[in-house]
Amino acid sequence: MSFTYADVGATRDRGFRCPPGFRPMHVRTRLGEGEAVFRRAAEAVLTWEMHRAMGVGIDASSERAAPDVDVTVTLAGVIKAPCRVVWTVEEYRRAGWAYGTLAGHPESGEESFVVDRTGDGTVWLTISAFSRPAKWYAKAGGPATRGFQHAYARRCGVVLRRLCGGYEED
C-alpha cells in the first residue's frame, strides 16, 4: 500500500509548512520536568503504550515505532485507520515518530508524536499534523471531525502526563 498524500515526512521539520489543501494541527502539552520524565514519556510514545492507555486499538508490525512499520489504529472498536511510520527520532532531548495515512484511512495526511526536554528541563509532548478528509464520513463530519482530532491530541497529552506521574525529579 502507498501513502495517500505526497509530502511524506513533512512533519519531521519543526515548524513545517502545511501542504496546500490540508489543515494543520499543533497541540503541545507540558508533561513534567527532568530526565526521568523524559525517558518514561519517550518510551511510552515509542512503544505504542500511550495510544493503548487511551483505549485505542493498535495493531503494529513491530513492538516499537520504526520507519516502515505498518500500524492500524482502531477507534471506537469500529473505525480502522491504516498508517505507516515515516520517520522516528531518538536523541538526547527529543524522541518520537510520525505516521502517514494509507488507503482506507478516514483522513489523508501525517501526524507526529514527539517528546522533547527543553534547556530548563521541562518535558513536552508535541503533536503536529496535517490532514484532509478522505472518506465520506470524515467529510460529512466537517468541523466535528476537526474537533475530534484536536480532542484526541489533547487526550494524548493528558494520558501521557498520567503515565509519567511519579517520575518527576525533586
Residue 135 structural domain: 24-163
- Let me know if residue 170 belongs to a domain: no
CATH of the domain at 149: 3.30.530.20
DSSP string, 42-91: HHHHHTTHHHHHTT-EEEESSSS--TT-EEEEEETTTEEEEEEEEEEEE-
Percent of the chain surpassing pLDDT 70: 98
- Let me know if residue 35 belongs to a domain: yes
- Let me know if residue 11 belongs to a domain: no
- Let me know if residue 16 belongs to a domain: no
Counting the structural domains of the chain, the total is: 1
- Let me know if residue 2 belongs to a domain: no
| pLDDT score of 25 more than 70 | yes
| Residue 169: band (very low, low, confident or very high) from pLDDT cuts 50, 70, 90 | low
| pLDDT score of 167 more than 80 | no
- Let me know if residue 133 belongs to a domain: yes
- Let me know if residue 141 belongs to a domain: yes
Mean pLDDT of 3-30: 92
- Let me know if residue 46 belongs to a domain: yes
Q: What is the pLDDT of residue 68?
A: 97
**Residue 86: partners with Cβ closer than 8 Å, 6 or more residues away:** 3, 8, 9, 12, 67, 98, 99, 100, 110
| pLDDT score of 77 more than 90 | no
